Structure 1
Amino acid sequence: MHSLPRLIITLTTFVMGLQAVCAHAEWFTVEEPIMGTAVSAQFWHDDNARGTALKQQVIDIMQDVDQRMSPYIDTSEVSQLNTYAYKKPVTVSDDLFAILQKAAWISSISAGTFDITFASIGYRYDYRKGERPSQDDIQHSLAAINYQHIVLDEQHKTVRFLHPEVRIDLGGIAKGYAVDSAIEMLQESGVNHAVVAAGGDTRILGDKRGKPWMFGIRHPRKPDDHAVIMPLTQVAISTSGDYERYFMDGDERVHHIIHPTKGTSATGMRSASVLTQKSIDADALSTTVFVLGVEKGLNLINGLPDTEAILIDEAGKLHYSDGLLRQRSTQPTSHKQLPQP
């Protein structure tokens, strides 16, 4: 169940021979601030003009998703839903409908732990100003936080809200969708080696021309350090952490990952990283596992095919899903790159 056939986490050192390449072949790199985070892509292409055009296409995809999925842009599809979906069914694009279906599935397998209606109270938090809603506001808004308040009509591609104060936010799933879209575009364009990232969401296509991509999971309390470094190929990985958007209220860290049944920042974890085949799944599952905590989160991951997780709890201790533990146990001690849990 956890073999991850396309995921390569090799813990041995090896040397690869040099490969002859076309004189015009090169790595293309692009980075832009989009969707409130850093978006980047690196890929190999043997045609300079085509590679340059593909860089712009990656940016175009990311900007398109932002324009249509952001709750902070009045003309976006999500904003239109938040304004009108309680009053009447709202027709949405096929891709937004697919994202909402995926969100509903993650909600169902996690008993509502992943819930895009968290925004019904989440929008009242201002992490830049260090402001949060009162306890009375939180209690009032809890009735609106329930993914079952969202009714999807697949035949007509419409969305309806069943509670007047429901709001949705796709921050825990839309970046993963955007990363997948960019990777799929590159793959269809003949690219075989690429990495695309949007904030904590990364998807790797192939390898780095004969060697794995070295990927680091950020240390949640040391911004310039990594808690884990591992070689990866052909996989998506997403990390949700309490260090991404937060402010301190005394000794309390108030961060953006909201517990849907409490309306406050989830506790017990510092970061949750999920590895699987698509970024949309890794994105949503990393948020889900963060809220669930170590025991329930690993139980969920261990029951999903081709899916693994690396968790850091509130004490800074590392925890691994079963498949990764098995991989660690089969490697020589001197070559282990995953720290002991």
Structure 2
Amino acid sequence: MIRGAAGVPLLVTGMFVRPALADATVTRASRRLLGTRVDIVVQSTSQTAAQAGIAAAFGEMVRLEQLMSRYSTDSEVSALQRAAGRHPVRVAPEVMAVLHAAAAMSARSGGAFDITVGAFAGWRFGDDGNRIPDAAELARERPLVDYRQVMLDARRGEAVLARPGMRLDLGGIAKLPILEAGMLALRRHGLHNAMVNGGGDVLASGQLQGRDWRVGVRDPLAPARLLGVLQVSNAVVASSGDYERCFIAAGRRYHHVLDPATGLPSAGPHGVTLVAPTAAAVNGLGAALMVAGQAAAGRLLAGLAGVDALIAGDGRPWMSPGMARRLQA
């Protein structure tokens, strides 16, 4: 267990640490979702409200995951892929919103973020074994990666993938909205002191035990070590890194953040941590920075009010001025 100063509970991006202080008003639950572990912590004097809110939050997140999963044959993402190059598919408003967010981030990042990297389907990381596609396979799939070929008709609520064989991977853009839907469900049950943590993305509302939520930021070069601690309330901490889903083969490390231009793991930073007042402000931005690199940080962060960033490469981490003020040793 990791404890902060004076035993204050500490969350770590990518991992939830059990509150250090026994408190009957604190309720915690965990579930495997979105390819990771999702934790919910709420503080409430009503156990009935806490349990009902947590159940509603997980129910809503499960519903949205089923719509957007590329692994489920019944999902709308799978329906889009089956219809690729043939006809439009009517999609739920939540899916349309994610597709619009993806299109905006792709345009903003010049294609560094691209949900059509799902076409690079030969990679395997972790649970179902590891696999590296060969150069010929990647070359065949590369023409199918182009975010501009995802056509959206908001009026009709329809989307279409223009080319046969195109596939989507919404992993870098759907998780934050799904976690946010869970948080909204908690709030509808009157739970305003709450945290939802899913694989390094933390949504924090109110406080825990009278203090702001404390989130530890991992060092991507040594994930057991912290670069520092953030104190947040009514904010989002979004983290992307090359250490969560990775493997080593022939002395080389491979990770799941793929460069749309090559189909290979990105060669930019090892980790990105963002703090923002809303999930929408940073949705997809971490993955874009992982591909585009630190040199693109100024351009991609420009005009984003209240967004602070930490980008960790091989040397000293780069921090925006706001992050430098936020991050505590």
Q: TM-score, normalised by structure 2?
A: 0.88
Instruction: Give the direction of change, closer, same or farther, for the CA distance of 1:280–1:32 in structure 2 (3 Å limit).
Output: farther
Paired with 2:283 and 2:228, the residues of 1 have a C-alpha distance of 18
Output the amino acid matched with 1:77: E
Instruction: Please say if residues 53 and 191 of structure 2, whose CA atoms lie closer than 8 Å, have aligned partners that are also in contact.
Output: no
2:113 matches 1:114: yes
Paired with 1:322 and 1:114, the residues of 2 have a C-alpha distance of 25
Paired with 1:154 and 1:25, the residues of 2 have a C-alpha distance of 47
Paired with 1:281 and 1:82, the residues of 2 have a C-alpha distance of 28
Paired with 2:208 and 2:274, the residues of 1 have a C-alpha distance of 21
Alpha-carbon distance, 1:156 to partner: 0.4
Alpha-carbon distance, 1:280 to partner: 4.7
Output the amino acid matched with 1:127: F
Report what 2:52 is aligned to.
Answer: 53
Report what 1:136 is aligned to.
Answer: 136
Instruction: Please say if residues 236 and 277 of structure 2, whose CA atoms lie closer than 8 Å, have aligned partners that are also in contact.
Output: yes
Give the total of aligned pairs. Answer: 308
Output the amino acid matched with 1:170: L
2:56 matches 1:65: no
Report what 1:306 is aligned to.
Answer: 306
**Residues 86-235 of structure 1: matches in 2 within 5 Å?**
86-121=85-120, 123-128=121-126, 129-235=129-235
Alpha-carbon distance, 1:234 to partner: 1.4
Q: Secondary structure at the match of 1:103?
A: helix
Report what 1:80 is aligned to.
Answer: 79
The percent identity for this pair of structures is 27
Output the amino acid matched with 1:105: A
Alpha-carbon distance, 1:248 to partner: 1.0
Paired with 1:211 and 1:312, the residues of 2 have a C-alpha distance of 28
Paired with 1:251 and 1:304, the residues of 2 have a C-alpha distance of 39
Instruction: Please say if residues 298 and 321 of structure 1, whose CA atoms lie closer than 8 Å, have aligned partners that are also in contact.
Output: no
Report what 1:245 is aligned to.
Answer: 245
Alpha-carbon distance, 1:177 to partner: 0.9
Cα offsets for 1:184-213 (capped at 9, x unmatched): 122222222111011121111122243111
Instruction: Please say if residues 39 and 198 of structure 2, whose CA atoms lie closer than 8 Å, have aligned partners that are also in contact.
Output: yes
Runs (4+) of structure 1 exceeding 4 A deviation are: none
Output the amino acid matched with 1:137: E
2:29 matches 1:38: no
Alpha-carbon distance, 1:324 to partner: 2.7
Output the amino acid matched with 1:337: Q
Q: Secondary structure at the match of 1:126?
A: coil
Instruction: Please say if residues 267 and 291 of structure 1, whose CA atoms lie closer than 8 Å, have aligned partners that are also in contact.
Output: yes
Instruction: Please say if residues 194 and 205 of structure 2, whose CA atoms lie closer than 8 Å, have aligned partners that are also in contact.
Output: yes
Alpha-carbon distance, 1:281 to partner: 4.2
Report what 2:317 is aligned to.
Answer: 318
Paired with 2:226 and 2:24, the residues of 1 have a C-alpha distance of 32
Consecutive unaligned residues in structure 1, runs of 5 or more: 1-11, 16-23, 329-335
Output the amino acid matched with 1:133: P
Instruction: Please say if residues 82 and 168 of structure 1, whose CA atoms lie closer than 8 Å, have aligned partners that are also in contact.
Output: yes
Instruction: Please say if residues 289 and 298 of structure 1, whose CA atoms lie closer than 8 Å, have aligned partners that are also in contact.
Output: no
Paired with 1:239 and 1:206, the residues of 2 have a C-alpha distance of 20
Larger Rg: 1
Instruction: Give the direction of change, closer, same or farther, for the CA distance of 1:25–1:190 in structure 2 (3 Å limit).
Output: farther
Output the amino acid matched with 1:74: T
Instruction: Please say if residues 216 and 226 of structure 1, whose CA atoms lie closer than 8 Å, have aligned partners that are also in contact.
Output: yes
Relative to structure 2, which stretch is displaced further, 25-34 or 159-168? 25-34
Consecutive unaligned residues in structure 2, runs of 5 or more: 9-22
Q: TM-score, normalised by structure 1?
A: 0.85
Instruction: Please say if residues 237 and 282 of structure 1, whose CA atoms lie closer than 8 Å, have aligned partners that are also in contact.
Output: no
Report what 2:11 is aligned to.
Answer: none
Instruction: Give the direction of change, closer, same or farther, for the CA distance of 1:253–1:303 in structure 2 (3 Å limit).
Output: farther
Paired with 1:34 and 1:193, the residues of 2 have a C-alpha distance of 22
Q: Secondary structure at the match of 2:132?
A: coil
Instruction: Please say if residues 85 and 160 of structure 1, whose CA atoms lie closer than 8 Å, have aligned partners that are also in contact.
Output: yes
Instruction: Please say if residues 120 and 141 of structure 1, whose CA atoms lie closer than 8 Å, have aligned partners that are also in contact.
Output: yes
Report what 1:293 is aligned to.
Answer: 293
Q: Secondary structure at the match of 1:279?
A: coil
Q: Secondary structure at the match of 1:143?
A: helix
Alpha-carbon distance, 1:170 to partner: 0.7
